[in-house]
Amino acid sequence: MSKKYILALVILIAVGLSIGVWALSRSPTSSPTQSDNSTQHTDSDWTFPLESEPVTPLPDFPPVVAEVMPSVVSVTTEIVVSDFFGRQSTEYVAGSGILIDDNGHIVTNNHVVEDAQSIYVELADGRIFPANTVGTDSLSDLAVIKIDAANLTYIYWGDSSLLSVGRWVLAIGNALGEGITATEGIVSRLNVSVNVEGNTLYGLIQTTAPVNPGNSGGPLVNMAGEVIGITSIKIVASAVEGIGYAISSNEAKPIIENLIRYGHVTYPWLGVSVSTVTPLLAASENLSVDRGALIAEIVADSPAEAAGLRVGDVIIRFGGKEISNVADLVQAIRISEIGEDVEIVFVRGEDTKTTSARLVERSTS
């Protein structure tokens, strides 16, 4: 080994020893700040918290499906359509229905049976019956039809007010016209309003349970096998997934009762056009409240006009119910009685006022 190489090696070792000594001199004890940062937030005894209770398993779907399936029917309607040249042809529309008593009353959607020339119902056991229309209501998208049969298996009606977001539900119906199927999901939102071709449906349940053409009119059920909604619509778009809607059982129940008893539904009428008050609308219109239903139009000779309401008033209570938006007002009016004097609290400018209106029957013309 050359002397130059040995000399270079000695120098490197010396430098290394110098660096090592310098590093040792920079021990943690010489820097209180660094020591604090590395130890003051640590906990040598930390472990993951123990589970307070066992994880809840998924619900047992098969028993619910087995209980509900015999009460769900396939509905097929024949409608006559005309092409551009006036030539007529027959089309078949598939939907679903729910047996609600043992005498053949079936609930479905209005859009399933609307304009139908004939209606056929297939039961879970394969029997097929012609059906007659008992009553329809386009505003709620509900209809009742009836078959001539007895001793039928029917489904129990549930209370949709007991629902909460995240609850498991099953949608059962004649999906794609291929027979009765079941899909599972959860409740995504409650009390939703959706505009469908100019008509707004209120009190809807939004669900992730897959809803396909043919499911319309079928039940949305809870894990007790009770109807808590009637499948109605879904949003169809390339960027949208898992958004379906059902008419809540509590919204549907009084309408179904009226359809069976009278063949039609009558609605109380106030005679106003309103908009939901939001903070943005309140700022732009210089309103003194940021919630309620802003009156945009009042029909002449209506109960609203007789009650002294004006355009620009904001209704904040109706019949003892708080009004935060248009849906609240519509629902409060619908549960009122025709001929009833209803107390209305409203805001005009900075003042809160009270009046009453006698509701009349809504005209169907």
Q: What's the CATH code of the domain at 104?
A: 2.40.10.10
Choose one of 256, 282, 307: the last residue of a domain.
256
Higher-pLDDT residue of 234 and 16 is 234
- Is the predicted pLDDT of residue 200 greater than 90, yes or no? no
Q: Where does the chain have alpha helices with state H?
A: 3-25, 32-39, 61-68, 110-113, 249-262, 279-284, 303-306, 326-334
Most confident of 54-63, 171-180, 196-205, 256-265: 256-265
Residue 36 domain-assigned (yes or no): no
Residues 233 and 316 in one domain: no
Residue 243 domain-assigned (yes or no): yes
- Is the predicted pLDDT of residue 188 greater than 70, yes or no? yes
Residues 160 and 251 in one domain: yes
Average pLDDT, the chain: 85
Distance between CA atoms of residues 211 and 16, nearest Å: 73
Residue 189 domain-assigned (yes or no): yes
Distance between CA atoms of residues 260 and 134, nearest Å: 6
Residues 142 and 76 in one domain: yes
Residues 301 and 352 in one domain: yes
Choose one of 256, 285, 316: the last residue of a domain.
256
Residues 351 and 273 in one domain: yes
Distance between CA atoms of residues 355 and 335, nearest Å: 19
Residue 123 structural domain: 62-81+88-147
Residue 247 domain-assigned (yes or no): yes
Higher-pLDDT residue of 187 and 195 is 187
Choose one of 147, 170, 189: the last residue of a domain.
147
Residues 164 and 133 in one domain: no
Residue 333 domain-assigned (yes or no): yes
Total of domains in the chain: 3
pLDDT in tens, 310-358: 999 999 999 999 999 998 999 899 889 999 999 999 999 999 999 999 9
Residues 247 and 272 in one domain: no
Q: What's the CATH code of the domain at 327?
A: 2.30.42.10
Higher-pLDDT residue of 8 and 141 is 141
pLDDT in tens, 104-140: 999 999 999 998 999 999 999 999 999 999 999 998 9
- Identify the pLDDT of residue 54: 65
Residues 235 and 309 in one domain: no
Residues 123 and 162 in one domain: no
The residues annotated as belonging to the active site are 111, 141, 216
Residue 49 domain-assigned (yes or no): no
Residue 312 domain-assigned (yes or no): yes
Count, residues in the chain: 365
Kindly state the average pLDDT of the residues 189-201: 84
Residue 131 domain-assigned (yes or no): yes
Write the DSSP string, 293-322: EEEEEE-TTSHHHHTT--TT-EEEEETTEE
- Cβ neighbour number for residue 363 with a 10 Å cutoff: 7
pLDDT in tens, 18-60: 444 444 444 454 455 555 556 677 888 888 877 666 666 778 8
Residues 212 and 299 in one domain: no
Kindly state the average pLDDT of the residues 152-167: 94
Residues 315 and 348 in one domain: yes
Residue 73: is it exposed, middle or buried by C-beta count within 10 angstroms (0-12/13-18/19+)?
Answer: buried
Residues 134 and 177 in one domain: no
pLDDT in tens, 57-110: 778 899 999 999 999 999 999 988 887 887 888 888 899 999 999 999 999 999
- Identify the pLDDT of residue 83: 79
Tokens describing residue 263: 């063949």
Which of these ranges, 118-127, 140-149, 195-204, 223-232, has the smallest mean pLDDT? Answer: 195-204
Distance between CA atoms of residues 189 and 219, nearest Å: 17
Distance between CA atoms of residues 172 and 187, nearest Å: 15
Distance between CA atoms of residues 329 and 315, nearest Å: 8
